[in-house]
């Protein structure tokens, strides 16, 4: 019981703190204990340490640690990528010698495929082009999406790259470059997740989730098999006639029978939910037709709406594009039907100020604003997994309502 409790406690603590550190800023967790723990780790505790260090050393220790920490978390270096590769490879090195001879041919073949796939998708996600915007690729990325006049407005220039920002793009402060449809910068792949490699990133998450789940399930079976060698009554789901004390003694024996298999199985079982959770979060973003970066922008708009500072009005249909700031044509099937702006004083803008036409209407809820980048889950998925797919070949934009209407062809 002692070994089991220590190993499980350490693995669970590391997994939980990793989740808090990386995902505590997500808008979906903004008003939860996870967000409070994230602030405690990155704000409250550092501020307390800084106050003590100022008294003792004038702040020199914290300043040096802050510089190092900023480089570790926000610098572009392969440290976390190497750690991830070591986590996979060392875990497999410990797990396979004891597990492989006990597996059937089917599990050996399936296991070999699942072991290889994360490395393949990791390479493609880490070393592939995420959609870097350069003078040579700028026109192409301008033609992918229209501006929605809500979170992306035409005419905005990147102050670092000195290029007009294409719709859904963002400048990555880590990579020091603009990326098309940037989702986020991922330290695990030491690269941005954007238009060019998001499908590889999602496949990396899926293959890692399947590997940890499959390996954990097989490992639990082998642990149970070793424990049953001591007592035939043992099962992973505790038998009613068995005491908890006896159950944990046998479980510990099953883990210690092959420490490599047992420890890696515990690690897989406890980390698999984190990977599935991250994959599920990205599946939800795809369902909503948004990205991690855009979801934060939507949350900012909700805050403006709560304060009563957000206003909208319709855009003319058809709308004349500005030739200097917008692409003359995009492959997207939906065009913006409204513009959303904020004011400093909470009063509507001047009705005569372009763009748009008609009176300004105060907006209180996000549900009253249409996301033109959400064209249905399967089409959103197609947009990610089939780069440069032209939706206009199949559908036309309803410029009045911004909804997709499928054309029926005559036979």
CB under 8 Å to 1, separation ≥6 — which residues? 248, 249, 252
Element (H or E) spanning 26, and its range? none
**Phi-psi label, residue 346: left if phi above 0, alpha if psi -120 to 50, beta otherwise:** left
How far is the C-alpha of 168 from the C-alpha of 277, rounded, in Å?
25
In 3-state terms, what secondary structure has residue 322?
Answer: coil
Contact indicator for 137, 233 with CB cutoff of 8 Å: no
Alpha helices (H) along 196-309: 198-228, 244-257, 259-288, 292-307
- Could you count the other beta carbons within 10 Å of the beta carbon of residue 47? 10
- Residue 384 carries which DSSP code? H
Residue 305: count of CB within 10 angstroms of its CB: 20
Q: Active-site positions?
A: 186
- For residue 298, give the 3-state DSSP assignment: helix
Place of tokens 């704000």: 43
Nearest to 274 by CA among 212, 326, 355, 319: 212
Question: Which of 236, 403, 278, 289 minimizes the C-alpha distance to 336?
Answer: 403
| Side-chain-facing half-sphere of 236: CA atoms under 13 Å | 11
Please give the distance of CA 204 from its chain centroid, rounded to a whole number: 12
């Amino acid at each position: 019981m002692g070994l089991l409790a220590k190993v499980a406690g350490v693995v669970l603590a590391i997994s939980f703190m990793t989740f808090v550190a990386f995902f505590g800023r997500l808008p979906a967790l903004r008003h939860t204990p996870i967000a409070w723990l994230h602030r405690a780790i990155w704000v409250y505790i550092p501020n307390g340490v800084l106050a003590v260090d100022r008294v003792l050393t004038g702040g020199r220790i914290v300043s040096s640690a802050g510089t190092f920490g900023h480089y570790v978390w926000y610098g572009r270096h392969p440290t976390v990528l190497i750690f991830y590769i070591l986590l996979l490879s060392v875990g497999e090195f410990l797990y396979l010698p004891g597990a492989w001879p006990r597996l059937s041919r089917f599990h050996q073949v399936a296991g070999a495929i699942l072991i290889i796939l994360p490395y393949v998708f990791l390479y493609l996600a880490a070393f592939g082009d995420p959609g870097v915007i350069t003078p040579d690729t700028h026109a192409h990325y301008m033609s992918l999406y229209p501006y929605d006049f809500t979170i992306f407005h035409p005419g905005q220039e990147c102050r670092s790259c000195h290029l007009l920002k294409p719709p859904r793009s963002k400048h990555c402060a880590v990579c020091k470059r603009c990326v098309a449809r940037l989702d986020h910068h991922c330290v695990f792949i030491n690269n941005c997740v954007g238009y060019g490699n998001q499908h590889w990133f999602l496949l990396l998450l899926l293959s890692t989730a399947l590997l940890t789940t499959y390996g954990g399930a097989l490992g639990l079976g082998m642990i149970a098999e070793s424990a049953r060698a001591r007592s035939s009554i043992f099962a992973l789901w505790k038998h009613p006639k068995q005491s908890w004390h006896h159950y944990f003694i046998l479980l510990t024996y099953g883990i210690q029978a092959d420490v490599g298999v047992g420890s890696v199985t515990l690690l897989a079982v406890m980390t698999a939910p984190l990977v599935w959770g991250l994959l599920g979060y990205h599946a939800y973003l795809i369902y909503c037709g948004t990205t991690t970066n855009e979801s934060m922008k939507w949350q900012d708009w909700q805050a403006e709406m709560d304060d009563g500072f957000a206003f909208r009005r319709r855009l003319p249909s058809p709308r004349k594009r500005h030739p200097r700031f917008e692409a003359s044509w995009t492959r997207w099937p939906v065009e913006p039907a409204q513009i959303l702006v904020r004011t400093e004083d909470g009063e509507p803008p001047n009705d005569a100020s372009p763009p748009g036409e008609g009176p300004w209407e105060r907006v209180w809820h996000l549900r009253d604003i249409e996301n033109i980048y959400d064209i249905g889950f399967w089409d959103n998925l197609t947009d990610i997994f089939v780069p440069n797919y032209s939706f206009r070949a199949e559908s036309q934009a309803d410029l009045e309502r911004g909804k997709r209407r499928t054309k029926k062809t005559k036979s």
